[in-house]
Amino acid sequence: MFEPDIPNRKKPVNLTISEGVVALARMYTDNLSATTERLLWEFVKQEQRASLEHRRAANACAEGWNAVDTALGSLADEHSSL
- pLDDT reported for residue 19: 96
Is residue 36, in this structure, part of any structural domain at all?
A: yes
Total tally of structural domains belonging to the chain: 1
Is residue 43, in this structure, part of any structural domain at all?
A: yes
Is residue 63, in this structure, part of any structural domain at all?
A: yes
- pLDDT reported for residue 21: 96
The answer to whether 32 touches 26, Cβ cutoff 8 Å, is yes
- pLDDT reported for residue 8: 78
Spatial distance between the Cα atoms of 26 and 20, rounded to a whole number of angstroms: 10
- pLDDT reported for residue 52: 96
The answer to whether 22 touches 32, Cβ cutoff 8 Å, is yes
A 10 A CB-CB count for 35 gives 14
Rounded mean pLDDT for each run of 10 residues along the chain, 82 residues in total:
68 93 96 94 95 97 93 79 69
- pLDDT reported for residue 9: 84
3 state DSSP class of 69? helix
- Provide the residue range defining the domain that includes 55: 19-72
Element (H, E) at 52: helix 32-72
pTM: 0.70
